[in-house]
Amino acid sequence: MPDHYDLLLRGGTLVLPWGEEAGDVGVRGGRIAALGVPGDATADQVVQAAGLHVLPGLIDPHVHLRDPGDPAIESIPTGTRAAVLGGLAAVFDMPNTSPAITSAGQVAWKQGYVERVAWCDMGLYVGATKGNTAQLAVLEQEAGVCGVKVFAGSSTGDLLIEDDASLEAVMRHGRRRVSYHSEDEYRLQERKPLFKLGDPYSSHMEWRDEECAFLGTRRLMALARRTGRPAHILHVSTAQELEYLAGYRDVATVELLVNHLTQMAPEVYEQLGGMGVMNPPIRGRRHWEAAWAAVRDGTADTIGSDHAPHPRAAKLKLWPECPAGLTGVQTLVPVMLDHVAAGRLSLARMVDLMCAGPARVYGAVGKGRLAVGYDADFTLVDLRARRTIEDSWIVSPCGWTPFNGMAVTGWPMATIVRGNVVMRDDEVLGAPQGRLVRFRG
């Protein structure tokens, strides 16, 4: 009898760890059962992928879905709907919510909530505080937890660990890689009085200057070497940090953001005003070039969106009253595909940064590659499709994107999560079927 599968992907170009191959994929029980399927095989569902590239399900390892919080801004249902529309099969959600995810009770609530309402799979960060340090070694082992997040510089929310003694204490409680927002809080507060309400939006990168980021990273690397605790430096934004971190590969991995690869100062502030304000800031050409060099030479391990929505009205306020943070989960894949089309990176390198990289850095089980036995997560993309990103396409309640009006080449045509087709041709299908990502302890 012919082989039978739950799902067959027919006729696509598979982006495999060892290269691209034309072929079919068979799925059973939510996992990849076969790469290369006989022509007479049958399935309950067949997806025709001719003309499309079949990628492993893409991952955004850095989102703020604001849940619990204000659903008029964002929530897990709306944010994960945006994710699958944008071609993402999994997202890792930050803990600086209201209330913050810092205790076993809050983690348990979020675990149950995700598996009821999420459209894609999710990993959960636990927020570190000076008050929960002793519990972090246990919290980081909870189901679905991708790791501990430390805000070493103040940003949205009330999570902050700024001093070396407290940072070292966090590193000595637990063993998994810790993710850091790396800015020096003391320098931030020292420089704050130099600016006033109504200063140009570009003042944001002058206040949170290069040394603010670089000093924070130098301090963290000294502590990471002292304790031996692996560190993941999020949203690295300066040329100085990238050069420096290349000497700390024994303890450090590196995240870049799509905004730091796509936008630059001063133009972003002149064109977008508060819609271009984020932490750490978008900087000038030298740092943009360094970010792309880090993509080319392997310094960068992951790419994320740092999706952090705020209401449009709040972003239109004068600086510094306009909150820092941009939308991005729905636009990450189209913008990165446009960079592929422009020749700035290969499709294989994009897959490495958005699939294998997050799986390796965070220890995600069954994610990150097309291989038998792995989760049947797929992002199907048309590398030749031409579209324009518009605010009207954004499903996050805030309803805006800093990439409004950007013409792109390359578009996600389908998102499949553990064998479930959840998006096809810009339409979300079925009901939410997200689950917690499994991680190695």
Residue 307's closest CA among 409, 202, 235? 235
Structure confidence at residue 63 (pLDDT):
98
CATH number of 4-54+373-387+407-428: 2.30.40.10
Structure confidence at residue 156 (pLDDT):
59
Equal CATH topology for 4-54+373-387+407-428 and 58-362:
no
235 Cβ contact partners less than 8 Å away, ≥ 6 residues apart? 62, 181, 255, 256, 257, 260, 279, 280, 304, 306
Q: Does domain 58-362 have CATH number 3.20.20.140?
A: yes
Mean pLDDT of 129-152: 97
Q: Delimit the domains of the chain by residue range.
A: 4-54+373-387+407-428, 58-362
Mean pLDDT of 315-324: 98
Mean pLDDT of 7-28: 97
Question: Is residue 219's pLDDT more than 70?
Answer: yes
Sheet holding 231-233, edge to edge: 58-63, 88-93, 121-127, 145-151, 178-181, 231-233, 252-257, 302-304
Q: Residue 179 forms beta bridges with which residues?
A: 149, 232
Q: What percent of the chain has pLDDT over 90?
A: 98
Question: Is residue 383's pLDDT more than 80?
Answer: yes
Mean pLDDT of 347-357: 98
Question: Is residue 157's pLDDT more than 80?
Answer: no
* Residue pLDDT, tens place only, 394-432: 999 999 999 999 999 999 999 999 999 999 999 999 999
Task: Work out the pLDDT band at 126, boundaries 50, 70, 90.
Answer: very high
410 Cβ contact partners less than 8 Å away, ≥ 6 residues apart? 334, 337, 338, 340, 341, 381, 382, 383, 384, 385
